[in-house]
């Protein structure tokens, strides 16, 4: 099993180091690691945020564990050279079209949620977000209007095949959980969303056991805060999913707690914490590594067929939290490395 480690920028290397220690402690047979630069680190080393050698490693590997990209030094570069292009490039090149973001509240962290503990404690959902289409990948640019004003534009589109394949992932995820799927769109205003809704309804015929509902994105944003316990699986497009999954994360506690998986059609995947490179705390040992450690657990479960090892990591994280381990984002004072130590102690 070859695991590509792509630490990236900011706190990426700090949190990946802890996840690697956890994986090494499991001592699974045949597990190998290769590391490569990505994002701003790669741009500074070789002039491109996603060098060919890094892409080749990602293609060769059985799974990819990714830290985060984003570096304020690179904010003025042309867009195609910015660190964030690396993650978009990996998603596109590896056809990682399905992003799975579980949002579950560890009971010990009910106080860390932005919601009242009795509301937060109901959160147990997966957000399935489409990753390869939508307004992020449509034609975009800057132009002048007839009266000489600057105008930016980004075209939103989905074709029916793109919607059908992510809808199927949504239904399959629901089948493995509570059999409830909520499709989020803006079909009252957007043609793209109307097609989305039509195709989701067609796809529902393949999954008669799943109860399907639809919700407009503005209402979904409200319901996530008002009554998050109503959601089992949410399926939505790239733009809406980007926003709603961050919102769900704050409902479930710190952004430093939540893992994610981005899968291709064969379940090969890239696993990463949902947070970014956090330049404000990079290099200070304040980053919470648990989202990355839990991403490693998802990697073992979804791409590497090691469900038991995944269970062990998740149980160790729960045990560390139950024993009081807290980084500053969770209201404590442990350093990144010490949180890693707490998980390792629970693991062994
Ligand atoms: P961010 O997630 O990096 O940080 C938001 C806030 O959460 C910050 O206050 C940060 O300190 C805190 N935070 C994030 N992760 C944390 C952790 N593990 N432990 C403790 N606190 C944590 O989002 P941002 O500030 O909007 O973006 C910073 C950079 O990251 C930007 O360049 C952005 O483009 C990039 N970004 C990258 C990804 C990715 O690599 N997939 C995702 C989101 C943002």
Q: pLDDT tens digits, residue range 295-318?
A: 999 999 989 999 999 999 999 999
Q: Where are the domains of the chain?
A: 1-106+254-348
Instruction: Show the tokens assigned to 217.
Output: 């994105």
The residue whose CA has the least distance to atom 22 of ligand 1 is 256
Whether pLDDT at 253 is above 80:
no
Residue list, ligand 1 pocket, CB within 6 Å:
11, 15, 68-70, 84, 87, 255-256, 272, 275-281, 287-288, 291, 329
Q: pLDDT tens digits, residue range 46-71?
A: 999 999 999 999 999 999 999 999 99
The yes-or-no answer on residue 153 being catalytic is no
Q: Tell me how far the alpha carbon of residue 126 lies from the centroid of ligand 1, in angstroms.
A: 21
CATH topology for the 1-106+254-348 domain:
Isopropylmalate Dehydrogenase (3.40.718)
Q: Cα separations (Å) of 316 from 90, 122, 258, 297?
A: 30, 22, 15, 11
The yes-or-no answer on residue 140 being catalytic is no
What does the alpha-carbon distance between residue 337 and residue 332 come to, in Å, rounded to a whole number? 14
What does the alpha-carbon distance between residue 241 and residue 34 come to, in Å, rounded to a whole number? 31
What does the alpha-carbon distance between residue 213 and residue 263 come to, in Å, rounded to a whole number? 24
Whether pLDDT at 215 is above 90:
yes
pLDDT of 120 reads 87
Phi/psi of residue 151, each to 5°?
Answer: -140, 130
Residue 116: band (very low, low, confident or very high) from pLDDT cuts 50, 70, 90: confident
Instruction: Show the tokens assigned to 196.
Output: 């989305």
Instruction: Show the tokens assigned to 276.
Output: 């970014």
Q: Tell me how far the alpha carbon of residue 275 lies from the centroid of ligand 1, in angstroms.
A: 5
Q: Tell me how far the alpha carbon of residue 281 lies from the centroid of ligand 1, in angstroms.
A: 9
Indicate which residue of 186, 232, 271, 286 is catalytic. 186
């Amino acid at each position: 099993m070859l695991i590509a480690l792509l630490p990236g920028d900011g706190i990426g290397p700090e949190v990946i180091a802890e996840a690697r220690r956890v994986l090494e402690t499991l001592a699974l047979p045949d597990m190998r690691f290769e590391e490569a630069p990505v994002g701003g680190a790669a741009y500074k080393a070789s002039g491109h945020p996603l060098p060919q050698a890094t892409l080749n490693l990602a293609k060769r590997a059985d799974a990819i564990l990714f830290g985060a990209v984003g570096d304020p030094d690179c904010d003025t570069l042309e867009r195609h050279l910015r660190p964030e292009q690396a993650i978009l490039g990996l998603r596109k090149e590896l056809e990682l079209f399905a992003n799975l973001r579980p949002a579950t509240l560890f009971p010990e962290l009910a106080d860390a949620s932005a919601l009242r503990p009795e509301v937060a404690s109901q959160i147990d959902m997966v957000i399935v977000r489409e990753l390869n289409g939508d307004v992020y990948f449509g034609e975009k640019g800057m132009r002048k209007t007839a009266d000489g004003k600057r105008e930016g534009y980004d075209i939103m589109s989905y074709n029916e095949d793109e919607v059908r394949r992510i809808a199927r992932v949504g239904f399959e995820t629901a089948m493995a959980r509570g059999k409830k799927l909520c499709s989020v769109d803006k079909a009252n205003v957007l043609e793209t969303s109307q097609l989305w809704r039509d195709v989701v309804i067609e796809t529902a015929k393949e999954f008669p056991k799943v109860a399907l509902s639809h919700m407009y994105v503005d209402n979904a944003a409200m319901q996530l805060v008002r009554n998050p316990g109503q959601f089992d699986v949410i399926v939505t497009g790239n733009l809406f999913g980007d926003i709603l999954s961050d919102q769900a994360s704050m409902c479930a506690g710190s952004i430093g707690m939540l893992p994610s998986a981005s899968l291709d059609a064969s379940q090969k995947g890239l696993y990463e914490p949902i947070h970014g490179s956090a330049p404000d705390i990079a290099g200070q040992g304040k980053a919470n590594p648990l989202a990355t450690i839990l991403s490693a657990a998802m990697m073992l479960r979804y791409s590497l067929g090691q469900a038991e090892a995944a269970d062990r990591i998740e149980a160790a994280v729960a045990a560390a939290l139950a024993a009081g381990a807290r980084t500053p984002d969770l209201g404590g004072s442990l350093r990144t490395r010490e949180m890693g130590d707490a998980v390792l102690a629970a693991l062994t």
